[in-house]
């Protein structure tokens, strides 16, 4: 402490002594320096590698090959098995033999080769990703088939009876069977008047109790629960809910099937080696086989048909433990078992379940619908519908999920011939609409598209009273959106379809259909047809404000139109496009649609445009988006809207018609005044416009262009104050000032700079960056350095004093309240020294074309130089004062850094031939090292630099300097 | 090891008292005892003692298959007794084991049966006029059945005026016990399997399929003292609660 104090006293004396001396800026010849410092030019080799090039990762796609080879076997087996029903249909035999044919055991199993065995393992790997799994259909069905009617459920009381300890097997069996009987007869209660939600909860409870029973080893109870659940599927009261009920209950069955399968599998674990995935029945041990067999015996004795069917189907997979051909032998039997189910709806869903549990390859002829339809129109069903007040069209839609699923399973990767044949069968059945609809939703789109005309014909022939026709057209439209029909048929298809669609009375039906067909129209036709279609939609949706209920569909229509017509001049020449937009009267939807359109515009518009139609329409759209902004709009939303509008503004160009361009910007400013980023963009655009003008005039403005440029500058000057972010304003002032200067608008530039100077005191300590509060000093420092560099070339105003702006800025910096523990102010002062030394040069390092800077104005006048030196003095005094205040223990590190910084400044810009300055630099060097906070490496490097410089001409005094600078070793 | 046929007379055939007193003596088929371990001490821990029995029938008795019925029960058990010193109680454990006879020699002759049921073919009808019209046709693949194979066949409701409510297969056991006083013949249901639920499609063949339950069935048995036979009933229940039954005697065997 003592030593440092001593030093400080001495040092302060020296400093005060020097501060009254003039500071001598080194005179510089920028041109020769640049010459000297220039890097040796090396020819660049633009090879493959470039550090900024985006990295492209080439991913080698591993294609799933698991179906390899199986398709062929599928096709062969299917064609052979399909042969029978085909011929029988052609023969015109009665449906009885048809069914007999359908029931023929699938003749593929005998030729099970090893690859097939592998696929036996699980049915899921046998289907590719293009197969829509049940899980995705599930939610859809649950959401679609709901009811408000009261439901009832029959449930047993699952109280566990006292465990039977009887030793004899027979006793055990007997008690178990008794328990089963119990379930069937007594101990049940019917819960009535359940709402749909209650019902679902109840089923979930059952599902849970199944799992509980299983995990607590009450297998009989588990079986009872499952039987009881599947019994619910024979109940068709509240028929609208049936599809959902099916979904819920088969979930339980699936759980059960999985539990049984896993249990038997776990029994096969031998010496802790579990069964391989593709095991053969020989690997299964006797206990496991016996257990498995026991399950099947138990299920075979279930009294009622429907539970027996469902429970056996649920554990169908377990047949693998018994024999290789187990599943394929079981399936035909289970299939024919369904014939005993009288209710056609229940029967169809039973088939659907079978298709779900059975591996797809076995499912060629397991289904037949022929007689189904006869039954639907039979008395029993009709009576039931009358009782439940359900109309036929609604009733028929209940079939869709099941038939869709069945057909999807059958048609999956099926050969063309099979599909053709199935279509033929549909025709034979008198074009049953229900089946037709499912065919269209299950078969490959390409297949359907190629036969569109046939399908239209069939749809037309359908019975009016049955399945709703608009659903049929919708399904067809969905296919046509995915695949293309033959070239020649295209227009006819549209005409035929639209003829029907336009006649739909119910707006919801209409729009659901139209939504789908718009895509087809956009895909294959010109704007004329699209226009017609849009006009038709408007015509249908306007009466009674029907569009209010159809916003999602209308939105999707717009989406489709802009996906296909992305040439915006073409799009807006579709007359009905804008009237169509007018249907979106709810603001949130309207803005969404506008956003879509703008996104598409930004994505697809390649060249800038001045097309008045596009401009008008898009301005209107942007205005809509802008007007949706209010106090509650989220920042993200605002940013997004602003990005979209900016994208649009950037794409507008009137070419050489600069005045019109400016007036466009003026108009845009008045329109989008609430979105700051848009205003910022406009200022930049106008600045760019000014510079563009300058470029066109090659720097020599005529009277007219000068006036225009001033107009641009004025635009910026009055727009900037309306922004709220202070740094945006500062930077824009500076930027616009630079543009004004470049365009020889000196007084305007002064005005910008003055505005910037007077704004600096308002800079807050903390600013919000990306939603977080950050100290502003780094931003301010950066801005000020930038500002000072600009000020070098700004000529002094003849009526204001010398260096008016620099002084003004220095005063502002002086008065600004800086952070107590920051050296920013001093760093800026040190940087000001750079500026001042640059200002004393005879020729400045840079100029603005056609603007005389102070070097020319003053021509090295000594008064001017004196003024600069005075400024230097003041600034140095400030710096030294600050260095002195840093002499405290805790700030010594900062002192060392600042001293070195200052030393470097003097080294670079000062004329060290001046003794006093030389002495000052030596003192600073010592000060920097004094307390051991200096980085030795830096110091060594600095010294090396000085020595190297001393070799250059006129730099010999550096040699002396180097000798006077001791290096302090750490030790 | 013990094996016996227990016969019981139903209260219906003989008097309540006879039934109660179980007048028919159980017929012992097999009975033998072996000593597994000589008197002594078992080492502590788990001790496994292997044993085997020759199945020597008593006299000229036949080794019948295990069967659990109502009036006839054929059961085989193993009983292990452990005699212990005076102070400790003796230990006993009983366990049933199942006996399946060897395959019967000779080839099973399939005996398919076709049947047609109409109001006219019915017996035991009070007012034939009040019956709705119906025609049900069908066939059983064979009434000679292998016990391990299911009973199969088909049934077609060709037409029926009244809606069908349910079609069921009823498996019935017919047990006959003979004794000095005469014999008693009783038919009781083993199981009932529904093959059609609701108003099924006309003209569509519905499969007849039933697995014979284990323990409760055995190959058809005819001895001097008792008989165990099986029958199947096809029961059609119409919506107006008319019940139509068609009976088919079966012959079960093990192949």
Which chain B residue is nearest to residue A101, measuring alpha carbons?
B205
Interface test with A, best of B154, B167, B201 (most A CBs within 10 A): B201
Provide the pLDDT for residue A437.
77
The span from the CA of A889 to the CA of A953, in Å, is: 42
**Can you state the angle between helices A169-184 and A219-231, rounded to 10 degrees?**
30
Q: Is the pLDDT of residue A970 over 90?
A: no
Provide the pLDDT for residue A44.
55
How confident is the model over A762-778, as pLDDT tens digits?
Answer: 998 888 887 788 888 88
Distance (Å) from the C-alpha of residue B68 to the closest C-alpha of chain A? 8
Distance (Å) from the C-alpha of residue B184 to the closest C-alpha of chain A? 25
Q: Which residues lie closer than 8 Å to B40 by C-beta, 6 or more apart?
A: none
Enumerate long-range contacts of B89-96, CB under 8 Å, 24 or more apart.
B93/A167, B94/A167, B94/A168, B95/A167, B95/A168, B96/A168, B96/A169, B96/A170, B96/B66
Provide the pLDDT for residue A748.
92
- Between the alpha carbon of residue A666 and those of residues A502, A537, A663, A685, the distances in Å are 46, 37, 5, 11
CB contact, 8 Å: B159 with chain A? no
Q: Is the pLDDT of residue B133 over 70?
A: yes
Provide the pLDDT for residue A137.
77
Which chain B residue is nearest to residue A173, measuring alpha carbons?
B215
The span from the CA of A763 to the CA of A779, in Å, is: 10
Q: What is the pLDDT averaged over residues B44-60?
A: 86
Provide the pLDDT for residue A42.
58
**Option in A96, A305, A337 nearest B204 (CB):** A96
Distance (Å) from the C-alpha of residue B137 to the closest C-alpha of chain A? 13
B203 and A96 within 8 Å at the Cβ level: the answer is yes
Tell me the residues of chain B between 53 and 82 that have a Cβ less than 8 Å away from chain A. Answer: 68, 75, 77
Provide the pLDDT for residue B92.
92
Longest dimension (CA), chain B: 82
B205 and A100 within 8 Å at the Cβ level: the answer is yes
A170 and B68 within 8 Å at the Cβ level: the answer is yes
B201 and A339 within 8 Å at the Cβ level: the answer is yes
Which chain A residue is nearest to residue B74, measuring alpha carbons?
A170
A342 and B196 within 8 Å at the Cβ level: the answer is yes
Q: What percent of chain A has pLDDT over 90?
A: 14
Provide the pLDDT for residue A707.
93
Q: Is the pLDDT of residue A897 over 70?
A: yes
Q: ipTM of this complex > 0.90? A: no
Low-confidence winner among A295-299, A815-819, B16-20, B111-115 (lowest mean pLDDT): B16-20
A170 contacts in chain B (CB < 8 Å): 68, 75, 96, 215
How confident is the model over A123-181, as pLDDT tens digits?
Answer: 444 556 667 777 777 777 777 777 766 666 655 444 333 333 334 445 555 555 555 55
The span from the CA of A462 to the CA of A460, in Å, is: 5
Q: Across the beta sheet with B134-140, what order do the strands follow?
A: B113-117, B134-140, B151-160, B205-210
Low-confidence winner among A528-537, A788-797, A854-863, B3-12 (lowest mean pLDDT): B3-12
Contact by Cβ (8 Å): A423, A447: no
For CA atoms A746, A747, A748, A750, the dihedral sign is positive
CB contact, 8 Å: B170 with chain A? no
Q: What is the pLDDT averaged over residues A822-847?
A: 88
Provide the pLDDT for residue A718.
93
**Option in A308, A339, A380 nearest B206 (CB):** A339
Q: Which residues lie closer than 8 Å to A267 by C-beta, 6 or more apart?
A: A285, A287, A288, A291
Contact by Cβ (8 Å): A298, A305: no
Residue A266 region by backbone torsions, left for phi larger than 0, else alpha for psi between -120 and 50, else beta: alpha
Distance (Å) from the C-alpha of residue A97 to the closest C-alpha of chain B? 9
- For A733, phi and psi rounded to 5 degrees? -60, -50
Which chain B residue is nearest to residue A231, measuring alpha carbons?
B197
How confident is the model over A103-132, as pLDDT tens digits?
Answer: 433 333 333 333 333 333 334 445 566 677
- Between the alpha carbon of residue A945 and those of residues A98, A836, A922, the distances in Å are 101, 24, 15
- For A818, phi and psi rounded to 5 degrees? -85, 160
B164 contacts in chain A (CB < 8 Å): 342
Provide the pLDDT for residue A785.
92
Q: What is the pLDDT averaged over residues A450-474?
A: 77
- For A717, phi and psi rounded to 5 degrees? -60, -35
CB contact, 8 Å: B36 with chain A? no
Contact by Cβ (8 Å): A336, A367: no
Provide the pLDDT for residue A420.
77
- For A213, phi and psi rounded to 5 degrees? -60, -40
B68 contacts in chain A (CB < 8 Å): 170
Provide the pLDDT for residue A20.
40
| Cross-strand pairs, B221 | B228
How confident is the model over A726-784, as pLDDT tens digits?
Answer: 999 999 999 999 999 999 999 999 999 999 999 999 998 888 887 788 888 888 999 99
> Mean pLDDT in chain A?
77
Distance (Å) from the C-alpha of residue A356 to the closest C-alpha of chain B? 22
Alpha helix positions (H), A565-634: 568-573, 577-581, 587-604, 612-627
Q: What is the pLDDT averaged over residues A289-317?
A: 89
Which chain A residue is nearest to residue B165, measuring alpha carbons?
A342
**Option in B93, B94, B206 nearest A340 (CB):** B206
- For B152, phi and psi rounded to 5 degrees? -130, 165
Which chain B residue is nearest to residue A293, measuring alpha carbons?
B214
A340 and B215 within 8 Å at the Cβ level: the answer is no
**Option in B98, B194, B200 nearest A303 (CB):** B194
Question: Can you point out the beta strands (E) in B83-181?
Answer: 91-97, 113-117, 134-140, 144-146, 151-160, 164-179
């Amino acid at each position: 402490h003592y030593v440092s104090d001593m030093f400080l006293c001495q040092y302060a004396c020296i400093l005060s002594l020097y501060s009254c001396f003039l500071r001598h800026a080194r005179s510089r010849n920028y041109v020769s320096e640049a010459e000297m410092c220039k890097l040796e030019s090396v020819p660049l080799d633009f090879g493959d590698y470039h550090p900024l090039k985006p990295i492209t990762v080439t991913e080698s796609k591993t294609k799933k090959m698991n179906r390899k080879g199986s398709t062929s076997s599928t096709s062969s087996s299917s064609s052979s098995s399909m042969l029978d029903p085909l011929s029988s249909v052609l023969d015109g035999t009665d449906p009885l033999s048809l069914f007999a044919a359908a029931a023929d055991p699938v003749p593929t199993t005998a030729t099970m080769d090893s690859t097939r065995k592998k696929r036996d393992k699980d049915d899921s790997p046998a289907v590719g990703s293009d197969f829509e799994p049940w899980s995705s259909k599930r939610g859809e069905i649950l959401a679609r088939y709901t009811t408000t009617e009261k439901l009832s459920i029959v449930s047993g009381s699952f109280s566990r009876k006292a465990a039977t300890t009887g030793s004899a097997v027979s006793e055990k069996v007997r008690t178990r069977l008794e328990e089963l009987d119990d379930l069937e007869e007594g101990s049940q209660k019917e819960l009535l008047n359940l709402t749909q939600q209650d019902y679902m909860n109840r089923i979930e409870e059952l599902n849970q109790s199944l799992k509980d029973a299983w995990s607590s080893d009450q297998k009989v109870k588990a079986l009872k629960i499952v039987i009881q659940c599947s019994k619910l599927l024979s109940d068709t009261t509240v028929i609208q809910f049936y599809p959902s009920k099916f979904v819920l209950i088969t979930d339980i069955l699936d759980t059960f099937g999985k539990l049984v399968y896993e249990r038997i599998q776990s029994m096969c674990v031998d010496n802790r080696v579990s069964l391989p995935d593709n095991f053969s029945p020989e690997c299964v041990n006797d206990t496991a086989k016996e257990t498995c067999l026991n399950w099947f015996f138990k299920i075979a004795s279930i009294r009622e048909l429907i539970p027996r069917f469902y429970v056996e189907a649920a554990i169908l997979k377990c047949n693998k433990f018994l024999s290789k051909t187990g599943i394929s032998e079981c399936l035909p039997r289970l299939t024919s078992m369904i014939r005993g189910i009288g209710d056609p709806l229940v029967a169809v869903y039973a088939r659907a379940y079978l298709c779900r549990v059975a591996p797809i390859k076995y499912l060629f002829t397991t289904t037949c619908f022929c007689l189904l339809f006869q039954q639907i129109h039979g008395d029993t069903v009709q009576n039931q519908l009358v009782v439940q007040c359900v109309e036929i069209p609604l009733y028929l839609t209940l079939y869709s999920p099941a038939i869709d699923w069945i057909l999807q399973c059958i048609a999956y990767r099926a050969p063309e011939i099979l599909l053709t044949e199935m279509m033929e069968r549909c025709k034979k059945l008198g074009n049953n609409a229900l089946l037709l609809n499912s065919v269209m939703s299950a078969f490959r789109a390409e297949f359907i598209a190629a036969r569109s005309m046939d399908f239209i014909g069939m749809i037309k022939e359908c019975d009016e009273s049955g399945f709703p026709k608009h659903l049929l057209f919708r399904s067809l439209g969905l296919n046509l959106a995915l695949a293309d029909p033959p070239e020649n048929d295209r227009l006819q298809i549209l005409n035929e379809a639209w003829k029907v669609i336009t006649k739909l009375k119910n707006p919801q039906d209409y729009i659901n259909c139209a939504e789908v067909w718009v895509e087809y129209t956009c895909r294959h036709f010109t704007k004329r047809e699209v226009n017609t279609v849009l006009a038709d939609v408007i015509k249908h949706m306007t009466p009674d404000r029907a569009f209010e209920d159809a916003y999602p569909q209308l939105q999707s229509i717009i989406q489709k139109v802009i996906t296909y017509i992305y040439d915006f001049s073409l799009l807006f020449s579709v007359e009905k496009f804008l009237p169509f937009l007018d249907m979106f009267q709810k603001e949130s939807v309207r803005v969404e649609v506008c956003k879509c359109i703008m996104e598409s515009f930004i994505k697809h518009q390649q060249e800038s445009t001045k097309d008045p139609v596009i401009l008008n329409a898009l301005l209107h759209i942007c205005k809509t988006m802008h007007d949706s902004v209010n106090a509650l709009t989220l920042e993200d939303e605002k940013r997004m809207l602003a990005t979209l509008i900016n994208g649009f503004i950037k794409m507008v160009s009137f070419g050489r018609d600069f005045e019109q361009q400016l007036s466009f910007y003026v108009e845009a400013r008045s329109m989008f005044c609430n979105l700051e980023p848009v205003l910022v963009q406009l200022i930049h655009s106008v600045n760019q416009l000014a510079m563009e003008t300058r470029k066109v005039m090659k720097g020599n403005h005529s009277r007219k262009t000068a006036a225009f440029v001033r107009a641009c500058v004025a635009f910026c000057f009055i727009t900037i104050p309306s922004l709220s972010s202070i740094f945006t304003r500062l930077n824009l002032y500076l930027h616009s000032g630079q543009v004004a200067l470049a365009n020889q608008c000196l007084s305007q530039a002064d005005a910008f700079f003055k505005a910037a100077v007077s704004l600096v005191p308002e800079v807050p300590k903390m600013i919000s960056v990306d939603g977080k509060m950050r100290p502003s000093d780094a931003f301010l420092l950066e801005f000020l350095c930038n500002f000072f560099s600009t000020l070098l070339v700004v000529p002094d105003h003849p009526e204001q004093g010398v260096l008016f702006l620099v002084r003004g800025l220095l005063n502002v910096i002086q008065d600004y309240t800086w952070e107590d523990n920051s050296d920013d102010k001093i760093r800026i002062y040190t940087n000001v020294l750079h500026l001042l030394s640059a200002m004393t040069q005879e020729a400045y390092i840079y100029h603005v074309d056609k603007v005389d800077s102070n070097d020319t104005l003053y021509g090295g006048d000594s008064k001017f130089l004196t003024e600069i030196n005075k400024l230097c003095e003041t600034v140095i005094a400030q710096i030294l004062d600050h260095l002195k205040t840093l002499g405290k223990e805790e700030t010594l590190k900062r002192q060392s850094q600042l001293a070195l910084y200052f030393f470097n400044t003097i080294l670079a810009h000062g004329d060290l031939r001046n003794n006093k300055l030389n002495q000052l630099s030596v003192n600073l060097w010592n000060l920097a090292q004094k307390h051991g906070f200096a980085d030795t490496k830096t110091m060594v490097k600095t010294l090396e630099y000085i020595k190297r410089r001393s070799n250059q001409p006129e730099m010999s005094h550096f040699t002396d300097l180097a000798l006077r600078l001791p290096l302090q070793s750490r030790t | 090891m013990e094996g016996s046929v227990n016969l019981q007379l139903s209260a219906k055939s003989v008097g309540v008292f006879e039934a109660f007193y179980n007048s028919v003596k159980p017929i012992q088929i097999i009975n033998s005892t072996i000593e597994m371990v000589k008197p002594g001490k078992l080492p502590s821990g788990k001790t496994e003692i292997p044993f085997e029995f020759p199945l020597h029938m008593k006299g000229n008795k036949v080794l019948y298959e295990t069967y659990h019925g109502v009036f006839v029960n054929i059961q085989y058990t193993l009983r292990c007794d452990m005699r212990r010193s005076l102070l400790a109680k003796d230990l006993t454990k009983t366990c049933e084991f199942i006996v399946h006879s060897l395959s019967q020699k000779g080839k099973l002759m399939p005996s398919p049966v076709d049947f047609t049921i109409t109001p006219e073919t019915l017996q035991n009808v009070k007012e034939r006029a009040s019956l709705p019209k119906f025609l049900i046709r069908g066939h059983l693949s064979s009434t000679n059945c292998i016990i391990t194979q299911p009973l199969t066949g088909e049934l077609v409701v060709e037409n029926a005026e009244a809606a069908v409510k349910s079609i069921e297969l009823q498996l019935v056991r017919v047990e006959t016990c003979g004794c000095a006083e005469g014999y008693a013949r009783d038919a009781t249901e083993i199981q009932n399997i529904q093959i059609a639920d609701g108003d099924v499609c006309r003209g569509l063949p519905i499969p007849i399929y039933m697995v014979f339950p284990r323990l409760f069935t055995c190959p058809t048995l005819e001895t001097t003292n008792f008989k165990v036979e099986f029958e199947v009933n096809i029961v059609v229940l119409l919506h107006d609660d008319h019940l139509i039954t068609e009976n088919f005697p079966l012959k079960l065997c093990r192949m």
